[in-house]
Structure 1
Amino acid sequence: MKSSGIGGQAVLEGIMMKNGAKYAVAVRKPDQEIALDIQEYPGMTKGRRWMEVPFLRGIFRFVDSLVLGMKCLTFSASFYEEEEETSEGKKSFLERHLSAEQLDKLMMTIAVVAAIALSIGIFMVLPVAVANLFRRWTASPFLIALLEGVIRMAIFIAYVALIALMKDIKRTYMYHGAEHKCINCIEHGLPLTVENVRKSSKEHKRCGTSFLLLVMLISILVFMFIRIDHIGLRMLSRVLLVPFIAGAAYEFIRLAGSSENCIVNILSRPGLWLQGLTTKEPEDDMIEVAIKAVEAVFDWKEYEEREFGLTFPEDSLAAEAKP
């Protein structure tokens, strides 16, 4: 396997694929046509070298992924929202005083901040409060920290499993599988066709699911060595250390995506197991959407010719036919 460097995300009835600063969102509309939106998102790290420092860059890449993810989800959802005609008199205060672009940016910022705050509250702060209840039975800081980590992991896995029961999320997980299968198909030197994608793996080491699980695992190890008696300060320490833990997790995921080292593969295995919950086998029409998104931002034929020495006869014939 050779890393292509492309990544993606499942959205509502579609796929986002990103290659460098360029990204494309392909969505299967209600009329079964595929809508394609191609844009650029350089991210906050572009032109800022200090944001590209290892173990620091992961923090900003994570925020970038949230911002871009919200943007792509908004685009995909727009095809499934009921059209509402709103008269000028019924417009909100913000709609009357901000342009559409300004309002979109404001709502995007609020959504990202709310998502980060809610995630930290549920997965970092809540386990501290629950584990603290067990202090009446044990005074061991080590056991309390370990219990906190187990609770955090249980909440995370339960959340992932429960939302999979929702119909829309189940289909999103199928698109997630299509995204991984396309990338695996390319990175294993197979022509990007529905048939080849279908037989490719739906697990990938660079997945966001693996990243989040790694954050949970690293946090267990780190917090077992940080002993703070005051529960308020202990909660605060969890919040303050999240960015640095995320930065470390990003570096491993970055390494894993381009390495076949046996130790890296073993450490990647738990994330791949968890992807059994967040990726499902896609239908052929979902694979078609994923291929559309890939081909909008990535020349997979050129990549496979360069990395695997493959040739594509139709391209050679086309070139010979040119005067």
Structure 2
Amino acid sequence: MKSSNIGGQAVLEGIMMKHKDAYSVAVRKPDGEIIVQKDEYHSIVGKWKKLTMIPFIRGIFNFIDSMVLGIKTLTYSASFYEEEEQEKFTEAETLKKEKQEKWLMGGTVAFSVVAAVAIFMVLPYVLSSFLKPLIPSYHIRTVIEGFVRIGIFIMYVLLISRMEDIQRTFMYHGAEHKCINCIEHGLPLTVENVRISSRQHKRCGTSFLFFVLAISIILLLLVQVESPLMRVAVRIVLLPVIAGISYEILKLAGSSDNALINLFSKPGLAIQKLTTKEPDEGMIEVAIQAVEAVFDWRAYEEENFDISADL
């Protein structure tokens, strides 16, 4: 199976889809209308775009780009549910608000990174260090730390999934996956075909996060330092390396049916059962419009499945 290289994420009552530099956001407005915005996203590396093409380096920048674009499109989708407030603003107030939102987006990205490092990298190490009197072996404690890290991640997902808005977002997440799976299995992109497609996909960000958590166990077993402070520093410094390796495995998984790769993908796919839910027909319609705005699925299927273009 050749990867379509289309990806995306769920936003508030909608879906963002991205293919190459083009991305679209399809949102179901409060009045029921589906509005689609198409634009281009340029990487944070600017003129050094070649960095996003170098194996084991590109994963770092692609991860940051995904966070920036994700927050940007999430903010855009939320704006449709604030329209009544926005109508009361003058033009000057609107410009001021947009400037504040840009600063807020930058601050949100920075805070998200710091919080993720603290919760998923530092906290598990601190918790596992309490076991030192009982378990003198650094390597065994590192393995336990890794499983604690994965446990915290699963608990976090379970906790937020109880929120009503998050449940709907997970349904849109399912619609996104179903659309991509529909295309990559050579089916015409219709509501009926999308509905019967799987809501799990090997290139999902959830799987990427699992790879990060799993690979961190392996790398930290190979790097041993004595100072507790240096151990915390090592966990932070190694994050770009871990992200780079995880991205390459994720990219390989998305275009390979190798038995070993499929086996390594299973835990991430299992966790996706928590982060995706079955969408309703209206959500699937939104997802289809998001895809069609940036990707010629007919040409892709004709090329890869020997299907007539008259779909």
C-alpha separation between the residues in 2 aligned to 1:208 and 1:88? 38
What's the TM-score, normalizing by structure 1?
0.90
Corresponding residue number in structure 1 for 2:3? 3
Shift of 1:102: 4.0
Match of 2:36 in 1: 36
Deviation string, structure 1 residues 151-203 (Cα, Å, up to 9, x no partner): 11110111011111111111111000000000000011100000000000111
1:319 corresponds to? none
Give the structure 1 partner of residue 287 of structure 2.
290
Alignment of 1:9-20 (within 5 A): 9-20=9-20
Deviation at 1:220, TM superposition (A): 1.0
Question: Which digits, 9 at most, give the CA deviation of each residue in 1:238-281, with x for residues without a partner?
Answer: 11111110000000001111111121111111111111111111
Shift of 1:35: 1.4
Counterpart mapping for 1:38-77 below 5 A: 38-45=38-45, 47-48=47-48, 49-77=50-78
For residue 199 of structure 2, the aligned residue among 177, 202, 206 is 202
Q: 1:312 Cα shift? A: 4.7
Q: Which amino acid aligns with 1:58?
A: G
Q: Given the superposition, is the C-alpha separation of residues 135 and 289 from structure 1 closer, same or farther in structure 2, using an over 3 Å criterion?
A: same
Q: Shift in Å at residue 313 of structure 1?
A: 4.1
Whether contact under 8 Å (2:174, 2:200) holds in the other structure is: yes
Cα distance in 1 between the residues matched to 2:215 and 2:117: 15
List runs of 5+ in structure 2 lacking aligned partners. Answer: none
Name the counterpart of 2:153. Answer: 156
The answer on whether the counterparts of 1:9 and 1:15 sit within 8 Å (CA) in structure 2 is yes
Q: Deviations over 1:293-320 (max 9, x none)?
A: 0000011112112221212547xxxxxx
Counterpart of 2:168 in structure 1 is 171
Matched with 1:318 is none
Correspondence 1:230 to 2:227: yes
Native 8 Å contact 1:14 1:25 kept in 2: yes
Q: Would you say the 8 A contact 2:52–2:62 is kept in 1?
A: no
Q: 1:308 maps to what in 2?
A: 305
| Equivalent in the alignment of 1:83 | 85
Once the two structures are overlaid, the 10-residue window that deviates more, 21-30 or 132-141, is 132-141
Write the letter of the residue equivalent to 1:117: V
Cα gap change, 1:199 to 1:232, in 2 (>3 Å): same
| Structure 1 residue 229: Cα displacement | 2.7
Contact (CA 8 Å) 1:30, 1:79: kept in 2 or not?
yes
Structure 2 length-normalised TM: 0.94
Any unmatched runs of 5+ in structure 1? 315-323
Counterparts of 1:175 and 1:233 in 2: how far apart (Å)?
42
Structure 1: how far apart are the matches of 2:51 and 2:172? 35
Match of 1:23 in 2: 23
Matches of 1:88 and 1:311, distance apart in 2:
51
Corresponding residue of 1:136: 133
Identity of aligned residues (%): 54
Give 2:278's aligned amino acid: E
Cα separation, 2, equivalents of 1:2 and 1:52: 19
Secondary structure, in 3 states, of the residue corresponding to 2:17?
A: strand
Equivalent pairs, count:
308
Shift of residue 134, structure 1, vs aligned partner:
1.2
When Rg is computed on C-alpha atoms for both structures, the one with the higher figure is 1
Q: Conserved in 2, the CA contact under 8 Å of 1:194 and 1:284?
A: yes
Equivalent residue, structure 1, for 2:116: 119
What is the alpha-carbon distance in structure 2 between the residues aligned to residue 168 and residue 100 of structure 1?
Answer: 24
